[in-house]
Amino acid sequence: MPRLDRTGPNGQGPKTGRGLGACANTNRGWRCPGCGFQSPSLDDQEKILEQELAAVREAKRSLKNQQSE
C-alpha cells in the first residue's frame, strides 16, 4: 500500500495485492514482543496461496478484457 491510502498496489482498491500489507487478514507468521513466533499451518499456507493464485488469474482476465476493447 504505497501511500497508506488503502488503494492497493496499483490503485485498484484494498486487498488487490499479495496480502502482505496491513489490510491482510491472514495468519502469516510475525514477531511481536511477548507473543513469540507464530507460523501458519500447511493448510493455512495452501489457502493463502490459492487466494493469491485466484487474484493473479483475475488480474490476467482483467488485462485480457482491457486489451480486447
* 8-61 tens-digit pLDDT: 666 666 666 666 665 555 555 555 655 656 677 899 999 999 999 999 999 999
- 54 closest CA partner among 6, 10, 19: 19
Number of domains in the chain: 1
Q: Is the dihedral of CA 52, 55, 61, 64 positive or negative?
A: negative
What pLDDT does 68 receive? 85
**pTM of model > 0.75:** no
- 24 closest CA partner among 6, 37, 3, 46: 6
Q: Which domain holds residue 21?
A: 1-69
Residues 6+ apart with CB under 8 A from 9: 1, 2, 16, 17
What pLDDT does 69 receive? 79
> Are the C-beta atoms of residues 14 and 6 closer than 8 Å to each other?
yes
